[in-house]
Chain A
Amino acid sequence: DSGVTQTPKHLITATGQRVTLRCSPRSGDLSVYWYQQSLDQGLQFLIQYYNGEERAKGNILERFSAQQFPDLHSELNLSSLELGDSALYFCASSVGGGQIDTQYFGPGTRLTVL
C-alpha cells in the first residue's frame, strides 16, 4: 500500500454529466499528479500540483480541471463527459516537485461513461 488513496473506486455515469474524483496524497507529500489510463491512449500524464499551485500540465482536455486544496488533497473535475472519457484515472504523489522525487500511485478510479 503506497499510502495514496483515491475515491470513489468505481464511477458509472452518463454522457454530458460532470464528476469529481478525489485523491489524498501520502502524508508529507506536497505534489499530486493525475494520470489517465485508457485502452487506446495508454497511460497519459494530465496535470501536476505542488503545494496548491499548478506545476505542470500534460494532455489535459479543457473540459477537465483540477485543484489542490490547503490540506493537500486534490480533486479532478471532468465535465461534459463523453464515451471516450471512460478510463482508469490514477493519482500519484511525491514529497516535493523536484526531479529526484519518486511518485507513488493510488489504486485508481475507474470511470465508465454510458
Chain B
Amino acid sequence: AQRVTQPEKLLSVFKGAPVELKCNYSYSGSPELFWYVQYSRQRLQLLLRHISRESIKGFTADLNKGETSFHLKKPFAQEEDSAMYYCALRRTYGQNFVFGPGTRLSVLP
C-alpha cells in the first residue's frame, strides 16, 4: 500500500536560512508527487508537482526514486513561508491521493 511520511511535525528556522522539508514515500509503481501548502486561515493549495519541475515561491523539490524521497527545499526562508506543508502521492493510474501528516514550518524573524 502507498504511504507518505513526513518525519518532522514542526520545523523552525530563522529568516534567510535554508529550509528543507522532508518527504518519503512507499509505492511500488511510478507515483506522482505533490507539495500542498496551507497558510493560516486559508485553504489548502497546490505548491508544486514533480512532473512540472518548476520553482514556486522559491521552493523546489526533486523526486529521488532511489531514495523514494521528494524533499521540499528553499535556499532562503521568508517569514511569509510559515505554514503547514503536506506532501502527497497520487498513484500512476488513479486519482486517490495519499497525504503525509504535514510539517508546520515556522520562520522566525
Contact = CB atoms under 8 A, between A and B. Distances in A.
Contacts of A100: 51
A79 interface: no
Sorting the interface of chain B by its residue count into under 10, 10 to 19, 20 to 34 or 35 or more gives 20 to 34
User: What secondary structure prevails in chain A residues at the interface with B?
Assistant: strand
Interface residues of A, number: 25
Given A42-B100, A100-B51, A105 B95 contact: no
Contacts, number: 52
Nearest to B98: A45
A45 to B, nearest CB: 5
Interface of B: 32, 36, 43-46, 49, 51, 86, 90, 92-102
Query: Closest 4 interchain pairs by CB?
Result: A43-B99, A105-B44, A42-B101, A56-B95
Interface of A: 2, 4, 31, 33, 35, 42-45, 48, 55-56, 58, 90, 92, 97, 99-100, 102-108
